[in-house]
Amino acid sequence: MKKDKIGFIGGGQMAEALIKGMMAAKLYTPADIYLIEPNSIRREHMESKYGLQCLDSHEKFCDLCDIILLAVKPQVMGHVIEAAKPYVTNAHIIISIAAGLPIKFYETSLGSNGYKIIRVMPNTPALVLEGTSAISCNDNVTDEELAIAECIFNAVGISVLLDETYLDAATGLSGSGPAYVFSFIEALIDAGIKVGLTRHIAETMAVQTVLGSARLMQKEKKHPAVLRSMVTSPGGTSIAAHHFLEKKGFGGIVMDAVEIAVNRSKELGKM
């Protein structure tokens, strides 16, 4: 399922991941994709690698595209919408992947609540087609149009549909989640080095341990406590280490980190 033409405003890492996934899934060809990107180095990269059609006119861009995907930081979103506003119509499907900014922000910035707005919170594993995206929309978006957005983001991983009130929570959990996982992996690597392993060996073992554990849980569909019990033998090494993590408040620290990220997402929406 696809819409005829899709245009990206912003050609950063996440836009590239989406374009790569859409083309791999044969949802779109280079002839179907347009891009506005002010950075000349980035623009040339996207043109040469994907054969995209890069434009410098918002008028022509909006005239050619059925879907407008806003792939810029929330701090500059207001300026981007101001430039495109004269040419955006209520026939366009507008998709934003900016953190924090509510649907109401786009309706207010465009001067009407008559536009089709879809808000998405993806995460960086989309770069390797393993992303998680939370999707919400306003009442102007039809089920068919929402399904188009799902197809786009499923091309780079999985997507879940949520009421917008839960999108800040999704931002704190999955949107920022890779940062927590990378910090944990880094700590595992450093721990391996501390106990005598080489960096290369420690990195290889840490990455595969996290990857394998995640795949095991995905396949077995069991509660993590059940899977943890499989490696915590009575009087063994794992239960000793788990006891230490519990004493130090490991679970509480992670929950606090997610909550802080959620609150920051809410703050961005109010700026």
Which residues have C-beta within 8 Å of that of residue 246, sequence separation ≥ 6?
Answer: none
Determine the Cα–Cα distance for residues 54 and 37; give it in Å rounded to an integer. Answer: 7
pLDDT digit string (tens) for 221-258? 999 999 999 999 999 999 999 999 999 999 999 999 99
pLDDT digit string (tens) for 166-188? 999 999 999 999 999 999 999 99
- For 222, other C-beta atoms within 10 Å of its C-beta total 13
First to last CA, the chain: 36
Strand (E) or helix (H) holding 159: strand 157-161
Record the pTM.
Answer: 0.86
* Domains in the chain with CATH codes: 6-170 (3.40.50.720), 177-270 (1.10.3730.10)
